[in-house]
Amino acid sequence: MARAQADDRAYELSPVEVRARFTGNLPTDGHSTSVIEAEDIERSAATSLPELIAREANVNLQSLSGTEKWTSLDIRGMGETASSNVVVLVDGVRLNELDLSGSDLSGLNLSRIERIRIVRGGGAVRVGDGAVGGVIDIVTRAPAPGTVSGSLRAEAGAYGTRKYTGSVAAGAGPLSLQLTAGRSDTDGFRRNGYLYSRDGSAELRFSPDARFSAWVRVVRHVDEYGLPGGLPASVLSQGEAARRAAASLLNGGTTDDSRYMAGADIDAGPFGVTRVQASSRLRENPFIIGCVSAGCDEAPIRSSRHALQIDHEIDLPSALGARPHQLGFGLNSWNGDYQRHTGSPTAIGTTRHSGDIHSHGGYADARLALGERWTLNLGARIDRFRSDRDTEVLSLPTVVIPVPPFVAPCTTCAPFWAASAAPSRGTWRNHAREIGLSWDATPTLSIHASASSHFRSPNIDELAQASADIRPQSGRTEEAGMRYRPVAGAELALSVFRIRIDDEIFFGRDAFGVSNNTNFPLPTERRGFEFQSRWPLTSVLRAAFNFGYVQPKADDFDGDLPGVPRRNASLRLDWQVLERVDATLAARYVSSVRDNNAFDDPNPRPRLAAYTVVDAGMRWRPHGEALSMSLSVNNLFDRAYATRQYSGDVYPMPGRHVMVAASMTF
């Protein structure tokens, strides 16, 4: 009986809202939502976070390396700019970077995640900039007061893959402390596709009673990675050796990422609950790309970001029913600094792009109970966004030689940074609004509808090579759907949506073929739907099926927007073989994709082919939850496929590979 109840929780699609201290949940009424619980993760046979999330409807994986590094997740057809149009939150803190690198998912270990929530088309009021396709909200495991506890996990598999993760937590009175450390090494499927990373974190929490909690957390991630580059699309029809080749053995980089967070939850009873959270992030990423011969200089990126978020939630009694109204208010401020060099910072002729970004905003939203069955959601946000960007070249002073008259560089003088282009300055005021209505038609059927607006500002990389009039994009999303739960552990959900974006920011080129990011001259649109289902076929066999469809179009433009598959689907079967043995079979299908450079390519390339990948896994728990052993086979049928294509070049994904793992808790 206990096992059945656990399974019911694991298959829940809608979010579980728990009002303990601070909910912090993004409003989800009126939006298509998926929730992946810790139990789902343990049984999934997935070996990486992007692979797991990409099994959800209208969520697509885009990878340049075959590892978690340089991998992004696209929700509802954002395409090449998904890293800027989908927000990833980790414990309420934005993971997206200031540039085009997006969210670095390589520092997130699956075994340390408590819950993942995907809110499609929502989050713009509370999250703000970039919540266009949606939000991926990741919650990690927090320390709990009490006796000493911990976990150890070891994994080994193909391509020289080795992963080790450990954590220990202890509490004494109101104090609790948690330490985690991890190491992950893989040579990668392709030559020069390696990723070697180290992770560590420490969290101290003070909770004297149920009304107050304060915490401090430090997270450190360092890695070293290779960039194998693109290969001709013909390799997908050739043998494994052709797919594992690298375009270059010299490209790659390192990352040093430090994050510091502190916060407090304060429950003032009838006056509501307040959360204050401050965070700081320092990141260095020197890399080499486009190198074809030895002796290339690293091009370093250095960035920092400092943020403060204050949220307040309060329940008010409702005259129309037993459920209270819920009101939320928030203020946020964040500042970012960024420097990127085209080569060594000490080499004459190196270009330096530097900039500052400042964002300040606030929101108010309400969840109004209109009787026992109707709920009205309202929200509004206003943001002020300011950017400053400079482009400079490291130069030598010049001296004038009088006879004969000419100007020559002073080789003995100290070099200096000279402006090579006019500085770019921009200040914009952006708005987001939302209205939604949900109706619990019966105890098992709910129906919802919503209309919302959203925005995205250009990031530093886009501003560095942009048209002079580049500006934020704005858009709106309309959505309607239903959720049906006929029996325990079963759920069907269907949502239809329409996203329309004005001034969408995209990667373009000027008349001379030089990169020139700008706003798309015509409105763009995505129409589609998501179908999600969970169903117990028997007492020991459960099925989950997801299907997503999106049609990405631009007004008066022939053909789909590049880089967006119209269809994705996944099927998962979970079988409780014995009391302590369970097995999983998961299949994921993605339809063909138009070449990412289709806008600029004078010779249009064939579409990137559709693919289906099947994963299988088995887990054995010989002593209950204390010890677990698992075996997973990914890409079971050794399918040759890629998720990205540029001007006919593809980035092959891993072939069939086996992973074994053992974990222990105490």
- SS3 call for 163: strand
Q: What is the pLDDT of residues 613-632, one digit of tens each?
A: 999 999 999 877 789 999 99
> What is the per-residue pLDDT for 13?
45
Q: What is the pLDDT of residues 472-487, one digit of tens each?
A: 999 999 999 999 999 9
Residues 497, 32: contact at Cβ < 8 Å? yes
Gap between the Cα atoms of 133 and 43, Å rounded: 28
Give the side-chain half-sphere CA count within 13 A for 573.
Answer: 12
One DSSP character per residue, 26-89 reads PP-TTS-EEEEEHHHHHHS--SSHHHHHTTSTTEEEEESSSSSTTEEEEESS-GGGHHHHEEEE
Residue range 444-460: mean pLDDT, rounded: 93
Has residue 449 got a pLDDT over 60? yes
pTM over the 0.75 mark: yes
Residue range 418-424: mean pLDDT, rounded: 84
Place of tokens 């990833």: 88
Residue 419 burial (CB count, 10 A):
11
Has residue 433 got a pLDDT over 60? yes
Residues 628, 617: contact at Cβ < 8 Å? no
Has residue 458 got a pLDDT over 90? no
Domain that holds residue 31: 2-665
Residue range 313-318: mean pLDDT, rounded: 91
In this prediction, residue 509 has a pLDDT band, given cuts at 50, 70 and 90, of low
> What is the per-residue pLDDT for 27?
62
In this prediction, residue 15 has a pLDDT band, given cuts at 50, 70 and 90, of very low
Would you say the C-alpha torsion 487, 489, 490, 496 has a positive or negative sign?
positive
Name the domain count of the chain: 1
Residue 431 burial (CB count, 10 A):
15
Torsions phi, psi of 550, nearest 5? Answer: -145, 135
> What is the per-residue pLDDT for 4?
36
**Which domain CATH number covers 28?**
2.40.170.20
- SS3 call for 490: coil
**Whose CA is closest to 550, among 491, 608, 622, 495?**
495
> What is the per-residue pLDDT for 508?
64
Share of the chain above pLDDT 70, in %: 93
Q: What is the mean pLDDT of the chain?
A: 89
Gap between the Cα atoms of 37 and 309, Å rounded: 26
One DSSP character per residue, 349-371 reads T-EEEEEEEEEEEEEEEEEEEET
Q: What is the pLDDT of residues 214-248, one digit of tens each?
A: 999 999 999 999 999 999 999 999 999 999 999 99
Residues 178, 202: contact at Cβ < 8 Å? yes
